Every structure is written in structure tokens, then in C-alpha cells.
A and B are shown apart, each in its own frame.
Chain A
Amino acid sequence: MAAVQDGPMELDTEKETKPEILSDGTSKLSGNAASGTLSSSPLTAGGAPKQEDQQTLIAVLQFLRRNKLSESVEILRREAGLEDQEDSQTLDGSGGGKGDRDGGEANSLLSRVSITSAAAPQIILSTSVTNEQLDVSVVLSAYSQQGDPSLYQVYYSGLKNFIESVLDCHRAELSQLFYPLFVHMYLELVYNNHENEAKAFFEKFGGDQECYYQDDLRVLCGLTKKEHLKGNEVLLDFRTSRFVLRISRDSYQLLKRHLQERHNNQIWNIIQEHLYIDIFDGMPRSKSQIDSMSGSFAGEARREVNKVKVFHGLLKEPEIEVPLDDEEDEAENEEGKPKKKKTKKDSMGSKSKKQDPNAPQQNRIPLPELKDSDKLDKIMYMKESTKRIRLGPENLPSICFYSFLNAYQGLTAVDFTDDSSLLAGGFADSTVRIWSVTPKKLRKVKSAGELNLIDKESDDVLERIMDEKTASESKILCGHSGPVYSVSFSPDRNYLLSSSEDGTVRLWSLQTFTCLVGYKGHNYPVWDTHFSPFGYYFVSGGHDRVARLWATDHYQPLRIFAGHLADVTCTRFHPNSNYVATGSTDRTIRLWDVLNGNCVRIFTGHKGPVHSLAFSPNGKFLASGSTDGRVLLWDIGHGLMIGELKGHTDTIYALKFSRDGEILASGSMDNTVRLWDSTKAFDDVETDDFTAATGHIHLPDNSQELLLGTYHSKSTPVTHLHFTRRNLLLAAGGYSSQ
């Protein structure tokens, strides 16, 4: 039928600029509904009588077409078309550009009943200016289009039947459509005040959705009125951001053909407006592949997002002369010492003089220069690393567990210094406590008056500046006004950061054990903070859905990483300090470039909020843990998931790679620490060749082989893990007696 076919063609051309206000159905029912929306729109007040005429015309057209009286259709259309144009022109005069599009729509899509053309002005606003207008009401009006509410169920089950009838290989891909369509249709019904239909729709089809969406659906079923939608930021973001689906070209063609054959294109509308279909050429994906990547609020990541080049290599270590007076090793080998030390340093530092192509330039971001104390630290580090145990499947690390007693479930954050000499705990009573792990006690620096009196030239001046009277095993830092959710030591052990529910991040001095600065920027709880591996910069992420990059000497953030759809729960620096990874409650992990604040990678696949992140020491891989008990491994360079480690039964709050990256340790609320063989997990991947175009890997289900050991604590959930410089694993958690 020629008339019908015209419609879709013009649809395609116009779809970027115009909304599809197509909807089928009887005019009467929707007419009533339309008059409801009419009252809200000033433009349509004058146009109401004309609308009813138009509707009867269109109804007549439908009748004629159904009875295949095509000539009559043409004649009527020609005549009615003129009238429609006049209508549109009058609307033009009254509504400016809006009427124009209305007329255009009426002309080209006469075969469809455009019942809510009155509501069209609002829709046009929303789709064309979503970028500019920041008004919430504009966003909400994105749902002003509507079909007949009672037919939504029909549309949905129609689609369901179609997808079930399709070939197996396409079925898995097309099933991805169910969830976003379901949510958008439900929200449309709610927004247009069809509460009963919405509830019925939800009951009928809610149970069909994937299990990992059930939590979201539970929240959704609590929203039955339009007012409920207004305050819910997460849902607003869900509706404005387009849900991304990756479908192969064959499956997509099938779908398109089917939807355009039918009259009810409500589904097509929704797809056009709210979904983004990332088409790729290649084999359709299997169900398991899809399942592994799906789960986030906004679908998967578009392929071009993950194509940006990321410099994941490490920065060159600076050349440091190791002193000769090392009495521990080969004391007798006097003349050989300098040479030996030099070679050792080279092997540990950069491999060659050539620049690693994957490493960023040294001066890509400004980094603080090394002070003398830093150089001493580095020398200590190198000495310790000579004594490091090489770990492997046959050589598992020993685990030392620090249990916090009498914490009464108030322990919310733990951190160790890099040399494992200090331990900090953040508590729900807003204090931060620092303990010395070594027998050496904690001392404060003397007061200014006393410092004047000491001999500055003496060798042990660093001990003399410490006040012996204040020596104690632990120190308490008070200052926050809410539970402390995260603590982070600086690499030079001079500062401690703590972030709290009161919205501030505080910098504490570990020389005087007092608070130096309070960084205010997030006005909402700050869930995580992390110092850069070189000091000076730190990143924080909180409830306001952004992560901020700060420098210790600026009271305002230097970069704001905005893009997540829900709270940012975990923030980590890359070992080269040029990138920041953030995990969020929207189940995605994003990698941000510090230099310009751009998001360079989006990793989807978790089915629950992401609570822990760990970069591998070589900078190439990222591990993430979430509430669904899985640890996922990601290749940063290619932007792909390369491994999945199943085994934990509860949220994973602690993840750490061993010092050389051979073992990944994960600690979770199920009171266990598990060790995984990360060399094997990454090796398997490197030998495969990626399908670069589609970027889909078939993940082997080898979690069992990769699990090297499970270690239970009595009833202490594991909050933090840390490998000492010699590869001893330290774990920390608060003992809870139930």
C-alpha cells in the first residue's frame, strides 16, 4: 500500500529533526486524553476545534484505506491535505516554528492518526533543544507523546511474539530491547497519568525481564504518579540519556522491517527517541556475551567511546644513585658494588632507554619533582623490592589480618601506607584513628618554641624534632562531622586524606596530627578519595555523581569528571597518574583523562554498584568488584572485558594486585579473602586475537581454575587489602560479632 509505505520513508529522513508523533488507535479515547494535554499547552487552545475536524477526517481516511478504496483515499487526501496545510499555517502564525513541523507531519503522515499533534510543540521542544535547555520540565515533556494507553500491552506482546519467532541467533540480540522498552513504556504511561494501565502493564511484563534488572524494577514499581518522577534524579538521567544497544546489522534489519510493516509504531517511536542502536557488522552475539556486557543503567558503551588512545604505560623511573654503604648484601664485594647496584636499578626501573609507545610523556601532566626525602624513600623501596618474594600459583602469599575490635560495625574505611608502617581507620563516629604497625611509636613534631632550641646541623635532626612526650601507639584525628567513608595516605607519608558524609575532604598532617585543610566542593557525601601515586594530586568521588581532581595547594578542584548517572563510589589513580578510574552505582566504570577531563573508556558488565577498583602494576589492566560478587578484568588499551572471576557471594570491597601483578587478591563482605591467578587470566587473553571491529570476546568460564585459594575469617568482613613491599598480604576489617 503506497500510502503506508510513504510514511516510513519520510520518517527516516526526518527522524533526526522531528519527533515521531505517530500513534495508532481510535481517535475517541485519545482525543479525550489529548484534550487533557491540550489544556496545558497555550498554543493549542485555539487549535482545539480544528483538531477534532482533522481527527474525523483522518478516521474516515483510515476507514477507506482499510476497505482498500485507494482512489477515494487519494482524492480525500488531496483535499484534506490542503486543509491540513491551512491548519498548519494558522498554527504557524500562532506558534512560530512549531506549527511548521506540525504541518509537515500532518502532510507526510496522513496515513497515521496524529492524535496528539497538539502535544507536538512540546515534543519538538524536547528533542531539538535537549542540549540547550536545562529545564527539568522540558525533559519531562519528552514523554508527552502517547499512544492509546490500553494498547501498550498489545504493542509489547506483539513485539515479544515477533522476537520469539525469529531465528535463534538473532533472538538473543533482539531480546536486549525488552528492558529499555518496558521501562520507557511504563514511564510514558505514568507520566501521562494512566496509573491503572501502568500498573497492569507492569504486572504483566515486569516478571519477564532479566534477573539483574529486578532491583531497578522494584524501584520502578513504586513510582505510580507523575509527581514521583519529578524528584528522582536517576530516572531523569535514564530518560535523557539514550540507552545504548549493540545489535548486529542483520538483526537490526529484521527488527526494522517488522516494525515498519505494522501500523503501531509506538515502539518505533520509542526506539528512535530513547534508544541508541549501535550497529555493527559481523556475527550476532550469543546470549552469554550479551549478558556479560549488559546490566548498567544506560545499556552498553558505544564503540567509538572506547576507541580513544589511552596511554596506559608507566612513567620512567628517575635515575637514582643507590648509596654504596649497604651492609646487608655482599659487604665484601667492595669494587663490584657500584656496578652491581646500577644494573639492579636498571632492571627494576625502565626496561630500556626507548620511550614505551604506550606510556605518556613525562610532562604530559605536571608532576611534583622529587625531593631528597622522596629519593631516600625510593632507595628504601628498591632495597625492599630486592627481598620481594615472587608469588605464583605454587607460591601463595601469607596473609596477615588486622581485626579492629570493638568497632561495633563503625569501621568504614582503612588504608595502609605504602611501606606498611602506618594504618589508618575511618569510623562512623567521624573520627580517624592512626596506628603504628611497627614497634616505632607515633610522635608529634615539637612546638615552634622548642624547635628553635635544637641543633639543626645534627645528623639525627629528624628524630630530634619529634617530641617524645607525645609518643603513643595511636592517634585520634577529630574534625569531620559525619562518618568517614574513605582514607588515603600520601606516598611520602606526610599527609592523610579523609572523606566523609559531611561533604568535605580533609587533609591531615602526619607530623603534627592536626587538620590542615578542608576541601569543600561536593555538597553531598563523598564516598571515596585517593592520593595520586606521586603525591600532590588527589581525586574524590561522591553522591553528586561527579569525581573531582584536586591538588593539595588549590582550594578548588582542578578537574570535574561528570558523566556518571549515579553516585561515584570508587576512585583510583592509574600508576602513571595520568588517568583516573571511577566506579559508580550505575554499574559502569569510566576511565578519565586527567589532562583534559574527557572520559576515555566506559566499561559495562557489572550487575550491581561497583565498589572496588584496582589497577595492575604494569598499568595495562583494571580489576573491579561490585555487589554482585563478581570481579571483572578489563584491558584498558583495547577497552574490553577480558575476564570474569566468580566465587564471592557478597559485595567485594577490597581488591589489590600483588607488587608484580601475578596475584589478584579480593576481599569481600562474605568474610573471605580469595586469591586469583592474574598472570594466567591475562595471558590467555593476549594470545587470542580480538575481533577488533566488534570487540566481542568469548569469555571462558575458568573462574575455578584461576582461583588459587579461599581464606575465611571468623566473622570479619574484609574492608581493605594491601601487599607489603615484600609481597606479604595484609588484610583489615572490623570484627562484628553477629
Chain B
Amino acid sequence: MASPKTVPKDAQVMMQILKDMGITEYEPRVINQMLEFTYRYITTIIEDAKIYSTHAKKSTVDADDIRLAIQCRVDQSFISPPPRDFLLDIARQKNQTPLPLIKPYTGPRLPPDRYCLTAPNYRLKSLQKKVSSSAGRITVPRLSVGAVSSRPSTPTLGTPSVQTVGTKVGTPVSLTGQRFTVQIPSSQAASVKSGHEYCLKSHGNLFGKMCTNPAATPTTPTVQNVLINPSLIGSKNILITTNMVSQNSSGDSTSLKRKHEDEDDYDAL
């Protein structure tokens, strides 16, 4: 501790206060902290009091203003626990209800999910569009808005049922849904594939995500090259993409998990 003659008067006063309150052992930084706190508190109170006195159109700040300032600050910053009679009251109410019976065999006993912290606190938005070389074709990946169409490998496409796709294209959501039901059947795969119209929102919300297109086989792409969905024409621009070739590899795990997120994230048209 600095020798008394070099210690400023305020610090000496603070040391005396600590001594009076019976505190004998403390780190030297405590004095600085206390002084800082005192300074901050007093300036806040005086500033508030100045505001109140100007509001009351007084020329000087007087004791009433200070008193009011203190009262307001106390309610804000130094909140003390509720008074005892209030606590006794609520305790009486709470203790009247009997203890709830415990249901047997319910696994981990936790409150309803709303009150737990067990929900995932993240949501995935962007998904990589993967390009595979299995097709051996030149794929022109296009940016597009749309849901992931991850799909396991199903090589064949039977009849490209374009027309069915056409009807479904208008509703992206259903498209999505459709995609995910596609696991194996090729016809659906085809529809999925063909249904790759993508819309671009005109107002600049571009490229909500990249999409992968679980393509079918190389054989099919010729079918769906260009599709213009009349329903999409409107105020929006349309970007049509073609022949997505897909990978299958990463499709599996993502398809299992991403269902809900994709529906959410699919930017509505």
C-alpha cells in the first residue's frame, strides 16, 4: 500500500470507511474499485437531479431533486429481495398444493420441452450443391432457389413424366416433398429431376440456396432440358436450369435430417 502522504485524500477517506466498517483485509485494488463506484454513482445521481430540476423549471438543483433522483435509481439498480411478508404469503399459497405423484417409468424426468434447453439452437440454411462425375457429362450447375433435392442413387429413369412434373412445379413445397419421398422409384426420380425449375426472386433475394439435384442417370437428361413453368412467370424472373446431375453420396444423411429445415427455408414465391 502506498504511503499515506502520496495517497490522495479520497482514497484515504475510503480506507477510513473500510476500517470503520470492520474490513481489515482487502486487496489494494478494492479502494480503486470503490472510488470508481462512488464517482459513477454520484455523477449519475447528480445528472438525474439536474434533469429533474430543469424539468421543474428551477434554477438550481436542490435537495428534493437529489432525493427524487436517488429514489428512482434505487428502484432501478439496487433491487432488494422481496419483503418478508410477501414471501410468507406466496409460500403459503405454494405450499398448500400437495406434492404431485410421480409417474413411473417415464425415462428422464424433465420438464416439458419448452422449458428445457434441449432443443437444437441452430438451423442450417445453406447447402452445398455437389457435382458428381459419375455421369460423365458436362453439367452446368446453375444457381437456383429451391430446396435440396438430395436423393439416393437411383440410376434409372423410366418414362420421363414431364407433364406430371409440370403441374407440380408450381408449388415448390410440394416439389420438395416429392423429392424426399423419392428414394428408389425411378419414375419419381424422373419427376424430381425434371422438376427443376427454379425461380429467382425479382427483388434481389437471390440464391436462397444452392441446390443439388439428385439426378437420375445420364440417360435421362436429354428430356429435361428446359422447362418453363408458366405459373412462375409473373412479376418474377425465372431462371430455368437444366440437367442437374447429381451426386448421391451425401444425399443420404442429409435427406434424413434436413426435411424440415428445407421446407422452412425454401423461399416462397
Chain A residues within CB distance 8 Å of chain B: 131, 134, 136, 215, 218-219, 222, 227, 231, 233, 236-237, 240-241, 365-369, 449, 479, 494, 507, 509, 514-518, 524, 536, 543-546, 551-555, 557-563, 565, 594-598
Contact of A560 with B95 in the complex, beta carbons under 8 Å: yes
Q: Roughly how many angstroms separate A233 CA and B102 CA in the complex, as a whole number?
A: 38
Contact of A544 with B82 in the complex, beta carbons under 8 Å: yes
Knowing A231-B80, A449-B253, say if A366 contacts B102 (CB, 8 Å): yes
Knowing A515-B117, A557-B94, A563-B88, say if A222 contacts B109 (CB, 8 Å): no
Chain B residues within CB distance 8 Å of chain A: 20-22, 67, 70, 74, 78, 80-91, 94-95, 97, 99-102, 104, 108-112, 115-118, 253
Report chain A residues within 8 Å CB of B95: 559-560, 596-598
Q: Roughly how many angstroms separate A507 CA and B109 CA in the complex, as a whole number?
A: 11
A495 (CB) vs chain B CBs: closest residue: B108
Report chain A residues within 8 Å CB of B22: 215, 218
A543 (CB) vs chain B CBs: closest residue: B81
B97 (CB) vs chain A CBs: closest residue: A558
Knowing A215-B22, A553-B110, say if A595 contacts B94 (CB, 8 Å): no
Contact of A558 with B91 in the complex, beta carbons under 8 Å: no
B74 (CB) vs chain A CBs: closest residue: A231
Contact of A554 with B111 in the complex, beta carbons under 8 Å: yes
Q: Roughly how many angstroms separate A369 CA and B253 CA in the complex, as a whole number?
A: 39
Among B21, B81, B83, B100, which residue has its beta carbon within 8 angstroms of that of A222? B21
Contact of A560 with B117 in the complex, beta carbons under 8 Å: no
Knowing A367-B102, A554-B100, say if A562 contacts B111 (CB, 8 Å): no
B106 (CB) vs chain A CBs: closest residue: A553
Report chain B residues within 8 Å CB of A227: 67, 70
A369 (CB) vs chain B CBs: closest residue: B104
* A-B pairs with lowest CB-CB distance, top 9: A597-B95, A562-B91, A555-B115, A560-B91, A562-B87, A553-B109, A544-B81, A555-B111, A560-B94
Q: Roughly how many angstroms separate A595 CA and B97 CA in the complex, as a whole number?
A: 10
Contact of B81 with A524 in the complex, beta carbons under 8 Å: yes
Report chain A residues within 8 Å CB of B112: 555
Report chain B residues within 8 Å CB of A494: 108
Most chain A beta carbons < 10 A, residue from B99, B116, B117: B99
Contact of B109 with A545 in the complex, beta carbons under 8 Å: no
Q: Roughly how many angstroms separate A557 CA and B94 CA in the complex, as a whole number?
A: 8
Q: Roughly how many angstroms separate A545 CA and B88 CA in the complex, as a whole number?
A: 11
Contact of A597 with B81 in the complex, beta carbons under 8 Å: no
Knowing A218-B22, A236-B83, A237-B84, say if A368 contacts B91 (CB, 8 Å): no
Contact of A562 with B84 in the complex, beta carbons under 8 Å: yes
A and B contact pairs by CB, cutoff 8 A, 14 listed: A131-B85, A233-B80, A233-B81, A366-B100, A368-B102, A518-B117, A536-B109, A544-B82, A555-B111, A558-B97, A560-B94, A595-B99, A597-B94, A598-B95
Q: Roughly how many angstroms separate A516 CA and B112 CA in the complex, as a whole number?
A: 11
Contact of B84 with A558 in the complex, beta carbons under 8 Å: no
Report chain A residues within 8 Å CB of B116: 516-517
B104 (CB) vs chain A CBs: closest residue: A369
Contact of B84 with A565 in the complex, beta carbons under 8 Å: yes
Contact of A551 with B109 in the complex, beta carbons under 8 Å: yes
Most chain B beta carbons < 10 A, residue from A131, A524, A553, A595: A553
Q: How many A-B residue pairs have CB under 8 A?
A: 112
B88 (CB) vs chain A CBs: closest residue: A562
Other than A507-B110, A563-B91, give 17 A-B pairs with Cβ distance below 8 A. Answer: A218-B20, A219-B21, A222-B21, A231-B74, A233-B83, A240-B84, A365-B99, A366-B99, A368-B109, A479-B117, A509-B108, A516-B110, A543-B81, A546-B91, A552-B110, A554-B100, A558-B97
Q: Roughly how many angstroms separate A554 CA and B101 CA in the complex, as a whole number?
A: 12
Report chain A residues within 8 Å CB of B87: 544-546, 560, 562
CB distance from A600 to the nearest CB of B (A): 13
Report chain A residues within 8 Å CB of B74: 231
Knowing A215-B22, A551-B100, A555-B111, say if A136 contacts B83 (CB, 8 Å): yes
CB distance from B78 to the nearest CB of A (A): 7
Report chain A residues within 8 Å CB of B253: 449
Q: Roughly how many angstroms separate A42 CA and B86 CA in the complex, as a whole number?
A: 28
CB distance from B9 to the nearest CB of A (A): 21
Contact of A517 with B91 in the complex, beta carbons under 8 Å: no
Report chain B residues within 8 Å CB of A546: 87, 91
Q: Roughly how many angstroms separate A474 CA and B159 CA in the complex, as a whole number?
A: 59
CB distance from B257 to the nearest CB of A (A): 8
Report chain A residues within 8 Å CB of B21: 218-219, 222
Q: Roughly how many angstroms separate A479 CA and B117 CA in the complex, as a whole number?
A: 11
CB distance from A117 to the nearest CB of B (A): 28
Most chain A beta carbons < 10 A, residue from B86, B90, B94, B95: B95
Report chain B residues within 8 Å CB of A553: 109-111
Q: Roughly how many angstroms separate A516 CA and B100 CA in the complex, as a whole number?
A: 21
Contact of A517 with B94 in the complex, beta carbons under 8 Å: no
Q: Roughly how many angstroms separate A551 CA and B118 CA in the complex, as a whole number?
A: 18
Contact of A134 with B99 in the complex, beta carbons under 8 Å: no
Among B67, B81, B102, B117, which residue has its beta carbon within 8 angstroms of that of A517? B117
CB distance from B56 to the nearest CB of A (A): 21
Q: Roughly how many angstroms separate A30 CA and B30 CA in the complex, as a whole number?
A: 45
Q: Roughly how many angstroms separate A560 CA and B91 CA in the complex, as a whole number?
A: 5
Report chain A residues within 8 Å CB of B110: 507, 516-517, 552-553
Q: Roughly how many angstroms separate A498 CA and B206 CA in the complex, as a whole number?
A: 47
Q: Roughly how many angstroms separate A64 CA and B7 CA in the complex, as a whole number?
A: 65
Q: Roughly how many angstroms separate A546 CA and B116 CA in the complex, as a whole number?
A: 24
Report chain B residues within 8 Å CB of A219: 21
Q: Roughly how many angstroms separate A44 CA and B20 CA in the complex, as a whole number?
A: 42
Report chain B residues within 8 Å CB of A240: 84-85
CB distance from A340 to the nearest CB of B (A): 33
Report chain A residues within 8 Å CB of B108: 494, 509, 516
Q: Roughly how many angstroms separate A594 CA and B100 CA in the complex, as a whole number?
A: 12
Contact of A545 with B118 in the complex, beta carbons under 8 Å: no
A507 (CB) vs chain B CBs: closest residue: B110
Q: Roughly how many angstroms separate A562 CA and B97 CA in the complex, as a whole number?
A: 16
A515 (CB) vs chain B CBs: closest residue: B117
Knowing A136-B83, A565-B84, say if A517 contacts B111 (CB, 8 Å): yes
Q: Roughly how many angstroms separate A84 CA and B118 CA in the complex, as a whole number?
A: 74
CB distance from B108 to the nearest CB of A (A): 8
Most chain B beta carbons < 10 A, residue from A509, A595, A597: A597
A567 (CB) vs chain B CBs: closest residue: B81
Most chain A beta carbons < 10 A, residue from B70, B111, B115: B111
